Amino acid sequence: RDGLLHDITQVIGDMGIALTGTTGRVSNASSQAIISVDVSLSSWQQSVEFVSYLSLIEGVTEIRKEAI
């Protein structure tokens, strides 16, 4: 949906999280946006809070966490 990336980056900014990278594409087969954000989180607790806020955004249907 229009504005989805903005809503995600708004959460990142509001939480004071460092955004280190982002990619996005639209899947033609499903008409879904696939957005990847790379962030630097300071703690496990911040990670849980971040995922919780993301899950409240309209249009977010799945969240995957990958550790480096």
- Condensed to tens digits (0 to 9), the pLDDT of residues 41-67 reads 999 999 999 999 999 999 999 998 887
Question: What is the pLDDT at residue 14?
Answer: 97
Does residue 8 contact residue 58 with C-beta atoms inside 8 Å? no
Tokens for 63? 């969240």
Q: Which amino acid is at 55?
A: S
Give the chain's mean pLDDT. 91
